[in-house]
Amino acid sequence: MNNTTQQWVDEKLTRALDKVQATVPMDLQIKGMHLFQKARRRVLKRPPPLPLVETPLPAVDSLPLERIDVTSPFLYRQGVWKSYFQRLRDEAPVHWQGQTPFGGVWSITRYDDILAVDKDHERFSAEPFIIMGETPDGLALEMFIAMDPPRHDRQRLAVQGVVAPKNLQEMESLIRSRVQEVLDELPVGEAFDWVPRVSIELTARMLATLLDFPYEQRHKLVFWSDLISGSTEATGGTSTADEIFEGIPEMARQFAQLWHDKAARLAAGEQPGFDLITLLQSSPDTRDLIKRPMEFLGNLTLLIVGGNDTTRNSMSGGVYAFNKFPKEFAKLKANPGLIPNMVSEVIRWQTPLAYMRRVATQDTVLGGQFIRKGDKLVMWYASGNRDERKFDQPDALIIDRPDARQHMAFGFGVHRCMGNRLAELQLKILWEELLARFEHIDVLAEPEIVQSNFVRGYSKMMVKLTRKAV
């Protein structure tokens, strides 16, 4: 099928879609989008992407440079990521691989090069996506993480107040009491899975707090977020486009409802809260955001997706890291004042999001390599955070590392993580409350690692707690 036909099909279908955009409720729009994509695939005879099948990855030493592909969603799970990235950092820090399941990509693997690309939004655009592949066709949620200035700035400034330090002070005691509840209910002296009981549960509570989402339904936030970030086409994960399009209309419906309920409660004289919806409704720029559905949905989705896997996996990652580096845990218990620096170090060590993607806006040169306009670049934070040119003994967890805060897990430049203070606060509270209760948190078996080239996380981790002697 040639390009012109494809364009013609797209134009016809898009025009039909535009007509309904202005009038139809959000959830129905997304359902419509799904039918649109199915129709498009049928007309263009394009097969849906296949789920990826795991096979053992070769040892990196056995490969010539031009055959190294770091985009596999199994790289991290199979434990070979360190050797792959080390080889690239040493021998080809700006490395082209033309044949990946996600198209051709430049991998940027050294700390300084990543920083240079992340800072330079004029040469390296975050549009249209920041994940390696494409999001399922037509799921065009407008998220400012994948927009360039000035559009990015306007949208970010409208919402960032909700996670700004001043607002967090207001939420801290609520977050803490919700952490305490979870920890007080944990079984002591017996095996249980840390991931759902602690990491997922606490993250769900935090997100529900942030959005003032119905508390009993908080697990839906996690479900939607997992669905979206697990897209096969986007990150090599396990959710298919059909599953995503089936789940998202419900999310759209509930978010719209959340907006209208809040407006009604505020109108009825309820005290304004510190949540995102209140914030949006009380600012002149965003009071009518609901009338820009894709932007409204995009912003809410970005917040739950951005805050979900990341915080969750830092919570699991910290426990795992302390089991690998038990002396560091002893150091922490002896000196809880190290908690803030330890939190940064755990985030560096884990690097919950492996990368962000950019597209070159012009022909350019980076690290001696000629990069063409339109080429995709992947900034591998996971590698930059283990760059021996930047960090001493980069693979070791060292909780009093003086430059721990200089990790790049939050990115740099205009897109630097908006939720970074919230993430730090949530982790700080967790560790303060853990130290107050438990002497040991033993990991009983190697954790299970999720399938993704983007999220570096744990799906299962069996642990056993020992109570602190009083």
Partner 1 sequence: MAIIRFAQHTGTTRDVPLTEGSNLMDLARANAVPGIDGDCGGSCACGTCHVIVDAAWAARLAPANAEEERMLSMAVDRQPHSRLACQIIATAALDGLRLQVPEHQF
**For ligand HEM, which residue of 6, 263, 413, 444 counts as binding (CB under 6 A)?**
413
| 218: contact with ligand HEM by CB under 6 A | no
Least Å from the CB of residue 393 to partner 1: 18
- Our CB check for partner 1 shows the closer of 357 and 407 to be 407
| 131: contact with ligand HEM by CB under 6 A | no
What are the backbone angles phi and psi of residue 392, rounded to the nearest 5°?
A: -70, 135
- The piece of 276-284, 308-316, 325-333, 403-411 that touches partner 1 (CB under 8 A) is 403-411
- The piece of 44-52, 164-172, 200-208, 375-383 that touches partner 1 (CB under 8 A) is 164-172
- The piece of 43-51, 217-225, 317-325, 406-414 that touches partner 1 (CB under 8 A) is 406-414
**For ligand HEM, which residue of 37, 310, 316, 383 counts as binding (CB under 6 A)?**
310
| 298: contact with ligand HEM by CB under 6 A | no
Query: Which 111-150 positions form the footprint of partner 1 (CB under 8 A)?
Result: 115, 118-119, 149
Least Å from the CB of residue 156 to ligand HEM: 5
Query: Which 373-412 positions form the footprint of ligand HEM (CB under 6 A)?
Result: 381, 409-412
- The piece of 13-21, 274-282, 410-418, 427-435 that touches partner 1 (CB under 8 A) is 410-418
Least Å from the CB of residue 255 to partner 1: 25
Residues that bind partner 1 (CB under 8 A): 115, 118-119, 149, 153, 156-157, 160-161, 164-166, 403, 405-406, 410, 412-414, 416, 421
